Structure 1
Amino acid sequence: MSDELVFYTNPMSRGRIVRWMLEEVGQPYRTELLEFGTTMKAPAYLAINPMGKVPTIRHGETVVTEAAAICAYLADAFPQANLAPAPGSRERGPYYRWLFFGAGPVESAISNKALGFQVPPERTGTIGYGSLESVLNALENALSKGDYLVGDRFTAADLYVGAQIGWGMQFGSIEKRPVFERYAARINSRPAAIRARQIDDALLPKK
């Protein structure tokens, strides 16, 4: 079985998160650029990801979709990159907690904010994230305790959650709290983050 690592993406998508993760991992990979509404919906790609969206990776015969799942998979597939606490370690639980907090409450809350939807105060109990304010307060509290979400080092949880914070502040769905700004500046200055931005920016349509 070939262990080739193939990355399906578009530079104007959440694929930018996975590009950053791939650059952090440091393993060779091949990029397949797809276009919205055409090659993403073509039979060849739908056979790989029936949702017809990006990002997706194929590692040998293993296909993984959803940005958070891809980050978690890559961290475990390439442990030498040191992007996840060891299975069974004391920090593994908090790592899962914040990675999936990003994929669940954070993603849902900021997506609803971007679409102009606000949960009525009397209905917050029916929504998994409660309210955007409670999500941001939880993040602020966690990030006020140290430089990173888990222990004293950068992990895939920081990459995924941090990317969401950065985008949210850029587009107005997350308020620019000082803790968030310091955190985003810290992780976005990583060499892999800079390389990933440069690669994807070069692939953007020319104006």
Structure 2
Amino acid sequence: MSDLIFYTNPMSRGQIVRWALHEVGAEYQQVLVDYGSNMKGDDYRAINPMGKVPAIKHDGHVVTECAAICAYLADAFPGAELAPELDRRSDYYRWLFFAAGPLESAVINNSLGFHVDDSQQKMAGYGNYQLVVDVLDQMLGERYYVCGDHFSMADVYVGSQVDWGVQFKTLPDTDNFNAYAERLRARSAYQKAKQIDADLIAKTAG
């Protein structure tokens, strides 16, 4: 029995964490949580009071929120070398939390039809959707991965946002976004993790 339990639903942000788990080479026990009574039930709310997936429990410690789980896994499995040395972590932290904050907020608000006007930009925190997109696009046009030439856990989280965005048109179709997404899709851990979730989705649909 693994000491790492992964709570997920294949049609959720749990796909991000499954990819992260495969990148670090972790053995894990999977617990599928449905969107009905299970996810909002008392048993699962004892794991995540928000009643949402994903979550992990590792050596008895619970971690929720995708960016936090990704960062935790990089530190908990140092042999995978997915967290840069401390003196090289500025870009790692900067873009990991840029994706968790401004990027996700801007994309969700834009998808919901909420467009920030000039008077609301300071309150929104991210300015506006186009500013966030332009900043991310420029960064990815200047380097191979988030931290330069070395793939890190920041690429799992930032890359998942970009990969999803270009597939489902929540991000514009730019050369930088598409090239970055293609580099990530070629990774073995990405392919294995995605296949597991695709198989689970197909099984549920069948």
User: How high is the TM-score relative to the length of structure 1?
Assistant: 0.95
In the alignment, structure 1 residue 171 sits paired with structure 2 residue 168:
yes
Q: Name whichever structure is richer in helix by fraction.
A: 2
Counterpart CA distance in 2 for 1:24 and 1:184 is: 16
Cα RMSD (Å) of the superposition? 1.2
Asked whether the 8 Å contact 1:20–1:197 carries over to 2, the reply is yes
Partner of 1:107: 104
Counterpart CA distance in 2 for 1:3 and 1:78 is: 14
Asked whether the 8 Å contact 1:3–1:60 carries over to 2, the reply is no
* Runs of 4+ residues over 3 Å off in structure 1: none
Deviation at 1:37, TM superposition (A): 2.6
In the alignment, structure 1 residue 81 sits paired with structure 2 residue 73:
no
Match of 2:181 among 158, 165, 184: 184
State the one-letter code of the partner of 1:99.
L
Asked whether the 8 Å contact 2:67–2:157 carries over to 1, the reply is yes
Partner of 1:33: 32
Counterpart CA distance in 2 for 1:45 and 1:60 is: 18
* C-alpha distance 30-3 of structure 1, shift in aligned 2 (>3 A): closer
State the one-letter code of the partner of 1:84.
A
Instruction: Within 5 Å, give how 1:60-71 maps onto structure 2.
Output: 60-71=59-70
Counterpart CA distance in 1 for 2:52 and 2:110 is: 22
Unmatched 5+ residue regions in structure 2? none
1:18-43 C-alpha deviation (Å, 9 max, x unpaired): 00000101121010000013111111
Counterpart CA distance in 2 for 1:172 and 1:95 is: 26
Unmatched 5+ residue regions in structure 1? none
In the alignment, structure 1 residue 48 sits paired with structure 2 residue 50:
no
Counterpart CA distance in 2 for 1:173 and 1:32 is: 29
Aligned residues: 204
Counterpart CA distance in 2 for 1:189 and 1:112 is: 30
Counterpart CA distance in 2 for 1:109 and 1:37 is: 28
Partner of 1:206: 205
Counterpart CA distance in 1 for 2:156 and 2:27 is: 19
Deviation at 1:3, TM superposition (A): 6.9
Counterpart CA distance in 1 for 2:69 and 2:57 is: 10
State the one-letter code of the partner of 2:107.
I
Counterpart CA distance in 2 for 1:15 and 1:127 is: 27
SS of residue matched to 1:144: helix
What is the percentage of aligned positions where both structures have the same residue?
Answer: 51
